[in-house]
Amino acid sequence: MSRSGTRSTVRGAERRASALASALVVLAATGIAAAMSACGPSTSKPSGAQAAASSAAAYASRAAASAAALASEVPSPGVTKVFTDASALQSAAASLATSHPSSVAMASSLEARASEFDASVSAQVEKARTSAEKVLKSVSGSGNAIDDVSITGLPTATKAGKRLAVVTITNRTRQPASFAVQIDFIDSSGKTVESTVVSATDVPPGEKATPLASGTSTASAPKIAKAQRY
């Protein structure tokens, strides 16, 4: 197998694993609050240290889950690292919740670590989306990849009342390709109330990427407006 073929195979494996890894991280996040509530007597108020630990664990858990959801937009070489770091952060949050519920030092360290990780992933995704927006600006009509993209709306409860949609992008070509997709959120009258752009970089031939599109209006439905392969 050629070197480019090997890289394509590795990237494909990363993306196939991303959905499962994301699900595992998000599912782990749901257990943190329960673990924290079980750490102390139910009849007593938590101490300041316990409250700080609880807050830090919950924040780290949310940061890990958010990063896992965004990871599909991170350029391929960094996808695996995002999931590895998200899982490690989730484990640290669980450890703080169950084994060290009163450690202010650990809580402070974990919160700083979560903040740095969240900012790093967000910056990578923002950079990819900015590049995608530039690509779409020069596209007339619906783009050359409109038939390679599908969208599935998710219940608003999955993210604090926001409208979420899974954008499934399939590379049907014989070469790795990047994609820029504009998602419009439409209200009941058919009017576009907001738009967002998602991206997928270096998707291997025959493989899929599944970025998440997020809208702030719960009374809207997602629609693919443009999709460009480049």
**Ramachandran angles phi, psi of 93, nearest 5°:** -65, -40
Transcribe 67-99 into DSSP letters.
HHHHGGGS-GGGHHHHHHHHHHHHHHHHHHHHH
Q: Which of 112, 137, 162 is the last residue of a domain?
A: 137
Q: What angle do CA 54, 59, 61 make, to 5 degrees?
A: 95
Say yes or no: 114 and 159 in one domain: no
Tell me the pLDDT tens digit for each residue of 168-212.
Answer: 999 999 999 999 999 999 998 999 999 999 999 889 999 999 998
Q: Which of 86, 118, 137 is the last residue of a domain?
A: 137
Prediction pTM value = 0.66
Say yes or no: 116 and 71 in one domain: yes
Tell me the pLDDT tens digit for each residue of 85-133.
Answer: 888 888 888 888 777 777 778 888 888 888 898 888 888 888 888 999 9
Residue 50 belongs to what H/E stretch? Answer: helix 48-70
Residue-range definition of the domain harbouring residue 179:
146-229
Say yes or no: 36 and 117 in one domain: yes
Provide the 8-state DSSP code for 158. Answer: G
Domains held by the chain: number = 2
Residue 10: the pLDDT is: 45
Tokens linked to 6: 């090997």
Say yes or no: 126 and 184 in one domain: no
Say yes or no: 150 and 124 in one domain: no
User: Is the model's pLDDT at 157 over the cut of 70?
Assistant: no
Say yes or no: 8 and 85 in one domain: yes
